[in-house]
Amino acid sequence: MKKLSIIIPFNKGLCYLDDCFGSILAQDLNKDEYEVICLGDMPEEGIVAKIEQYEKKDLPVRYVQWIPAYGAGYARNAGIKMAEGEYVYFLDCDDYILDGCLKRMLSYAKEHDADVVSGGIKHTFFKRDAFLADPKEDFINMDRKGTDTDIAKIFADEVTVLNMLIRKDVIDANDIKFADNVSYFSDMPFVMKLLSVTNGFFLVSGAYLAKRERNDPIHLPQLNQSMAKEPQKMLNDMLLVYPESIKYTEGQPKRRNIVMYMLCKNLLKVMEAGYRPKKELAVCAEYTKQAVKNVSSRFRFAERMALSCIAAKRPAQARICTAYMIINKKKDGRFGNKIQWFRFIDKLIFSHMGRKDNWIVFESFFGRGYNDSPKAIYDYMLAAYGDRFRYIWILSDKHKKTGKSTRYAVYNGLRHVYYASRSKYHVYNVRQPGWFVKKKGMVFLETWHGTPLKRLVFDMDDVYSANKNHKAEFYRDSRKWDYLLSDNRFSTDIFEHAFDMDRDKIIETGYPRNDILYSENAPDIIKKVKNNIGIPEDKKVILYAPTWRDNEYYESGKYKFDMALDFSLLKERLSDEWVLLLRTHYYVAEKLDLSEYEGFVYNVSGYGDISELYLISDICITDYSSVFFDYANLKRPILFYVYDIETYKNELRGMYLDMEKDLPGPLLYTSGEVLCAIENISAVSEEYREKYDGFYERFCSLSDGQASKRAAELLLGKRRTE
């Protein structure tokens, strides 16, 4: 007899199975003593090949297919019937087990002859190779027999069977089953009945499951991410499992309160989602009447009032309480965040004032500067159309200057909301603020900010920007774009799937910000920029523009910068002839101390317009930043310092290009190699001339100094987009 059967329901999400299966192999169990039963209710291309791949790796896995849409409860019940192990363990296909977990649980179960052994759950939205847990304290800090107090803590937020090792004889002898007629809450009756028939429930420390939250709720939603989209189904499922679950808590008040709390909690979620119980009202009232008395202390005042109104069959009053509850629950609600007050004023006043058809809002990098393609379009329109339009720049620093005929507004200020509400035209190069509401008749031009090298949004399996909502927020914001500018056909093809955009909204104009690189006034601009920065006229210029690493951060929005290039070596060998401009990404948090390199290294990270830095530079050094696509317009040498390429390519976002084959310059792995390339730059340029010419034709051929004109005409509806 096998010791263990691992049962895995599978419903889409093939990309998660490597972590799931890999984590099982990493448990280092004897392959003859366990089995993996993967049960799928929906055929997905590649699933059979994936199973075969892991069979070859000695994972004892078999795949069972059945009728679609039966749900996880049905799959687990079917898996139990097939299981040959002494113990069963349930695992979701998008989760993974941390090393040593199963051996720890099996050893403890054998030592104590336990019916049930439960470990801890760590929530994360990172894949296995880059595991980072939710920093909540784990209360399972020692091995012990579980009490009702422990059980209440384990199931404080969700009643789940995950990371529980269960003796199969106990399940069979007591006919314990998952609810297979529901999509949601199928675990609750199973767990409550299991707890009612066993006295051998134990907790073990150091045995963890990584409960992974999917970061693409648009295309690959988890069950809990789908709840808000179908609140009626969610409510009906709870009403189906509630009576069966509550009957197994007889004489166990703490367990009873778990079930009652789940009822009340999810009823509130249903009302927050906008669904009002009607035909279910009588049943909701019956169940809630007793539940709210027992668990009311766990809810806020407005929530208690809403539940009490449902219990008293007063749905109108419940709606009022729910509205107040939503406002009160918001962490940044109307009474705690000024932008919510401004939005309230917008709804009350600004939205009724009428749209201004000659107002244009410009914003670049969330108001951080007056630069990039929005600046280029603005400069062109100011010269071409003059005072026919009112130009409004959104800036985080209200003291930054732009040009004539311009109004200013502080990012996320009242004037920002006012102009955003009333202006017909909007030009951005990143996503707009989350509060922005696009009104009928508005035209939104998204210029974006670079040809993509690293995978973007929906092409990324994981998001390492410490924002698990990135994909959902991006999808919401990008639905408001009327046009998205593209610099080349390569970008168009990527934007279509990476942003999930309609192709007819992606317009190949070239990037307006590159117009300056083709300017007839380039010599005068170069002289002016060098003087502004303080660069001696007789020195040649190296621009070093590394990207930010997605997995190097202190917290959300604060990123590290590892000075991997040896500035001391470069200064010693190059400072007589060269200076180096350091341009870090605006995500970087540190204030760099470059005092020891004074006169050689200039920190230009805060310089407004990087296009001007391109223009004055004789060589560009970068890594995985898209700056080289723009710099290539100048047909000057580009060096790629990629000291961590394997980590970046394999563990982080991945690349759209083959860096070994497609780049117009050498890949360099040490500071010494960078130095050698600079000292022999003429030979390096000659070696890569043919590849550079092909690269230019592929990525820069649309650039001709007129992209700003094309973008402005597109914005104003003067250019055909077919």
SS (H, E, C) 284-349: HHHHHHHHHHHHHHHCCHHHHHHHHHHHCCCHHHHHHHHHHHHHHHCCCCCCCCHHHHHHHHHHHC
For the sheet containing 506-508, what is the strand order?
406-410, 390-395, 356-363, 423-428, 443-446, 483-486, 506-508
Q: What is the pLDDT of residue 437?
A: 87
Confidence of residue 553 (pLDDT cuts 50, 70, 90): very low
Q: Do 484 and 501 form a contact (C-beta atoms < 8 A)?
A: yes
What is the tens place of the pLDDT at every residue in 383-441? 999 989 999 999 987 666 666 668 889 999 999 999 999 999 999 999 888 888 899 99
What integer is the mean pLDDT of 193-201? Answer: 89
* Cα–chain center distance at 567: 34
Q: What is the pLDDT of residue 323?
A: 81
The chain-wide mean pLDDT, for the chain, equals: 87
Q: What is the pLDDT of residue 620?
A: 96
Give rounded-to-5 percent helix, strand, coil for the chain: 45, 15, 40
Rounded Cα distance between 367 and 471, Å, is 22
Angstrom distances, CA of residue 507 to CA of 412, 457, 501: 29, 19, 12
Q: What is the pLDDT of residue 556?
A: 44
Confidence of residue 293 (pLDDT cuts 50, 70, 90): confident
| Residue 631 pLDDT exceeds 60 | yes
Q: What is the pLDDT of residue 562?
A: 61
DSSP calls for 343-368: HHHHHHTGGGS--EEEEEEEESTTTT
- Range with lowest mean pLDDT among 42-51, 274-283, 509-518: 42-51
Q: To 5 degrees, how large is the angle CA 38–CA 44–CA 48? A: 55
Confidence of residue 346 (pLDDT cuts 50, 70, 90): confident
| Residue 216 pLDDT exceeds 80 | no
Angstrom distances, CA of residue 432 to CA of 13, 219, 340, 476, 479: 30, 22, 16, 10, 11
* Predicted TM-score (pTM) of this structure: 0.80
Give the strand pairing for 578-582 and 601-603.
Answer: parallel
Which has more pLDDT, 28 or 226? 28
Confidence of residue 721 (pLDDT cuts 50, 70, 90): very low
Rounded Cα distance between 535 and 616, Å, is 10
- Range with lowest mean pLDDT among 231-235, 481-485, 552-556: 552-556
Q: What is the pLDDT of residue 381?
A: 95
- Range with lowest mean pLDDT among 59-68, 381-390, 394-403, 701-710: 394-403
Q: How many CB atoms within 10 Å of residue 540?
A: 15
- Range with lowest mean pLDDT among 431-440, 493-502, 695-704: 431-440
DSSP calls for 530-560: HHHHT--TTSEEEEEEPPPPTT-EEETTEE-
Closest-CA residue to 255 (of 146, 155, 140, 114): 155
| Residue 245 pLDDT exceeds 80 | yes
Q: What percent of the chain has pLDDT above 90? A: 57
Q: Is 73 helix (H, G, I), strand (E, B) or coil?
A: helix
Q: Do 366 and 396 form a contact (C-beta atoms < 8 A)?
A: yes
Q: To 5 degrees, how large is the angle CA 113–CA 118–CA 124? A: 155
Rounded Cα distance between 368 and 397, Å, is 7
Domains of the chain: 2-217 (3.90.550.10), 235-329 (no CATH), 340-513 (3.40.50.11820), 519-699 (3.40.50.12580)
Q: What is the pLDDT of residue 376?
A: 95
Q: Do 584 and 561 form a contact (C-beta atoms < 8 A)?
A: yes
Burial of 113 (C-beta count, 10 Å sphere; 0-12/13-18/19+): exposed
What integer is the mean pLDDT of 483-511? Answer: 95
Q: What is the pLDDT of residue 335?
A: 47
Give the torsion through C-alpha atoms of 187, 190, 191, 196, to 10 deg.
160
Rounded Cα distance between 142 and 135, Å, is 19
Q: Is 230 helix (H, G, I), strand (E, B) or coil?
A: coil
Q: What does the block give as tokens for 318?
A: 């419940």
